[in-house]
Each structure stands twice: as structure tokens, then as C-alpha cells.
Amino acid sequence: MNQNIAGILPASRWGKLIPIAFITYSLAYLDRANYGFGAAAGLAEDLNITPAISALLGALFFLGYFCFQVPGGIYAEKHSAKKLIFWSLILWGALATATGMVHSVALLAVIRFLLGVAESVVMPAMLIFLSHWFTRAERSKANTFLFLGNPITVLWMSILSGYLVNSFGWRGMFIIEGVPAILWAFIWWKIYADRPRDAKWLSEAEKRAVENALAAEQQSIKPVKNYREAFRSPKVLALAFIHFFWNIGMYGFIMWLPSMLKSASGMGIVATGWLSAAPYLLAVPLMLTASWFSDKYQQRKNIVLLFLGLGAVCFIASFTLGATHFWLSWVLLVIAGGAMYTPYGPFFAAIPEMLPRNVVAGAMSFVVCFGALGSFVGAWIVGYLNGLTGSPAASYVFMGGSLVVAVLLTALTTFSSLSTPTAQTRSAY
């Protein structure tokens, strides 16, 4: 791209936009992932929930999460992510807090499903939001800062939730951890801007520089008529199924890691929290390094393939060693968890590079939607197998096999754009 047309892209975008994206996604992740701690800390015993029902309750979130991904992404593109996420924050914060007040399984099931519905718009809306602000040469880094809200949140949530459960019980944990989302909604409303033209903190020249750079990128992408054509694209379908099988392993791991570690180690809930935090600590430097490499060298597929493959190998090796070699098995689980998180930025950076603006919101949401379905399957089946067999062995095989399928699909899929990209725009980042 001609630099005189695009200009130097303003560095202020990173300081203004990335923190609010990170915090919003972090709060969403806090209120979905803490169920595993509640389940490990007495929720099932207090409400007389069987292991099979507990697995279904843990997974109901993802069923609700699945239902509104595509409409949420399309609304964010055609109208406004600002209003959508404002009301989503208030609703999911209230529902997360209400989880600590339930006294019946039926009401808990309704809350878990509605919590998934409330949070379903966040990920597609955020990815669309970032695609309105960051170019091809920046997109993997921008996505990665968003997705860092996942491991960093689980890192401090694993430690904090252990202490909250120990001090206030599982009810107190849910109530306390639901309040920040409601408070953040009003900060979000004050700071957020949907597009460069809406940002009061950019000069007119800076607004034009970002808009021109993004518009020029669209010229290098093959036109797609409508959403139906986009959804039927072999590349979009391949990415959707990769995300599906990837998330079976990922969310089975996230939801049930505390319970599996507590059972295998025989340690208390606080120690389990510290052990559960380690994969997410490792994920942070891995994600940052991989996203930098991906943007600098425009590598998307190779990053996804390398780290998904590493995650699958370490996960299967951990299961093979078993509880008789607990600490070595735990180290391999830490590597597996960190590796599974690492490729998210490059993976989702590839989609706006394949498809034009008129269909990218629906296509991105479609891929996210399949991931949500995989999350539902992973969270439910893993919990169900743990309860049915009385050990994590069968669920390890199920998660490991799903990761292997994701790796094979990645190896067979082309991540490149549909035509020759333009030269990368200089960024002040």
C-alpha cells in the first residue's frame, strides 16, 4: 500500500482500545470458567447434583453460547457493538451473581443457559471490532491481546476463586465475581468507539489513515456475494471444524482441570487453584511471541499447526504417564494447556484476510459458533465420562483424540487469502 495514501497508523489505538477489549473479554471469561471451581468446592453436594447432571450444567452455558453467535456478529457489523456489549455485560453480571443464590437444579440450569446467551455476542463482536481498527500487519497481535484475557483471567481466577471458596464458600465466590461485569458496563459505554470515525480522540487525518488502510486491503480480496456463499466456502467450513475439535479439547481441559487435579493430587482447593493456574501462566509469553512472529512473517497456518500439535502430543503423553507420575504428568498438562491457547490470535487473523467486509462478520461468527458447539460437547462429555467411569482416563482419550483431529484438519487446510495481498501498511505500534 502507498504510505502517502494510508499514512502512519496512530499508535494511540493500542493504548485506548486494547485495554477495554482485554478487560471485557476477561470478565466474560471469569464468569464462565469459575463453574469448575464451584463444582469442585461443594456445589454438587449442596444441591444433590449427580456427576452426569453436573456435567450437563457445566455444558449448558455453551449451548446458550452457541445459539446467538452469528446474529451477534452480524449485528455488531451492521449496527453497533457498543449497545450490544453494554447490555450483555449487565445481563451476564446479574446472572453470574444469581448463580450463588440458587437452591434448585432447575433454576441453575436456566441461569447457566442464559449466561451463555448473554455472553455469546462478546467474542464475535470483539473480533469484528478489532478488524475495524487494525490492519493485516497488526491483526494477529490485536487478536492475541484480546485472547490473553482468557489465560490471564483463568490464571488469577484460579488463585482468587480458591481463596474465595475457602473464605466464603462457593455461593460467595459466584456473587463476588459477578459484580465487576455490571460495574464495567458503564465504563465500557463511556470509552468505547465502534469505528475510527466515531473516535473523538483521533484527528481527522488519523481517522482517514486507518479507514484508507483498511479499505485498501479489501481491494485484494476476491468478492463474495452473500453469507450463504461464505458459509459454503471450503476454507470457512474447514476453519469451523478445526475450531470445533480444538475447543472440545480446550474447554474440556478448562472446565474440569480443577476437579481432575484435586482428585489426582489429593490436595486442598487452594493448592488445586495454584496447580490449575500454571498452564495459563505459560500461555501468556507463548501467545505474545507467536502473534509477533505471525504478523512479522505473515505466518498463520504454521503457528496454528505447530502449537496445536504440541498441545496434542503433551496432552496424550500426560495421560499415558497417569497419576502414578503425578508431577511429570502435571508438567506435560501445563505445556499442553499453554500450547492450546497460543494459536488463537493467528487463527482468527486469517479469516478477515480470506473474505471481504460484506461477509466477514457472519463468517467469523460462524467459525466462533462451531467452537462454542465444540465447547459444549467438550464440557459435557468430559464431565459425563469422569462421572461414569470414576476416573479421568476416558475423558483424556476423548480430548486427546479431538485435538489430533484438529491438527490433521489444520494440516489439510490452506490459510492464505484468496488473492495476492497488498503490501503491508506501516504501523506506529
* R_g over Cα of the chain: 21
Dist CA 211 CA 299 (whole Å): 24
Name which of 85, 111, 96, 248 is nearest 175 in CA terms: 96
pLDDT score, position 269: 66
pLDDT score, position 288: 93
Q: What is the dihedral of CA 186, 188, 191, 192, to 10 degrees?
A: -140
Q: Which residue has the cell 502449537?
A: 307
Name which of 92, 143, 95, 88 is nearest 121 in CA terms: 88
Q: What are phi and psi of 427, to 5 degrees?
A: -120, 150
How far does the chain reach from its first CA to its final CA, in angstroms? Answer: 17
For residue 245, the 8-state DSSP code is H
For residue 194, the 8-state DSSP code is S
CB 91 within 8 A of CB 324: no
Q: What is the dihedral of CA 384, 385, 387, 391, to 10 degrees?
A: -150
Dist CA 97 CA 95 (whole Å): 5
pLDDT score, position 58: 67
User: Got the DSSP string for 283-318?
Assistant: HHHHHHHHHHHHHHHT-SHHHHHHHHHHHHHHHHHH
Q: Would you give per-residue pLDDT tens digits along the chain (429 residues)?
A: 444 344 588 999 999 899 988 999 888 878 777 777 777 777 777 888 777 787 777 677 778 888 788 888 888 888 888 888 999 999 999 998 998 898 888 898 899 899 888 888 888 888 888 988 999 889 999 999 988 887 788 777 777 887 888 888 889 888 998 899 999 999 998 888 888 988 888 999 999 999 999 888 888 777 787 888 888 888 899 999 999 999 988 876 766 666 666 666 666 666 777 777 788 889 889 999 999 998 888 889 999 999 999 999 988 888 787 667 778 888 888 898 899 989 999 999 888 888 888 888 888 889 988 988 888 887 778 777 877 777 777 887 888 899 999 999 999 988 765 444 444 434 443
pLDDT score, position 339: 92
Q: What is the 3-state secondary structure (H, E, C) of 34-86?
A: CHHHHHHCCHHHHCCCCHHHHHHHHHHHHHHHHHCHHHHHHHHHHCCHHHHHH
Dist CA 345 CA 143 (whole Å): 5
Dist CA 46 CA 189 (whole Å): 38
Dist CA 393 CA 335 (whole Å): 19
SS3 169: helix
In this structure, how many other beta carbons lie within 10 angstroms of the beta carbon of residue 181? 28
Dist CA 81 CA 75 (whole Å): 7
Name which of 67, 411, 376 is nearest 247 in CA terms: 376
Cell of 76: 455488531
Name which of 69, 89, 68, 77 is nearest 25 in CA terms: 89
Q: What are phi and psi of 9, to 5 degrees?
A: -70, 135
Helices (H), 322-391: 326-341, 344-349, 351-354, 357-389
On the 0-12 / 13-18 / 19+ scale of CB atoms within 10 A, 321 is middle
The CA distances from residue 66 to 113, 123, 223, 280, 367, in Å, are 10, 11, 28, 24, 11
Dist CA 349 CA 292 (whole Å): 12
Residues 6+ apart with CB under 8 A from 103: 47
Dist CA 51 CA 59 (whole Å): 12
In this structure, how many other beta carbons lie within 10 angstroms of the beta carbon of residue 163? 13
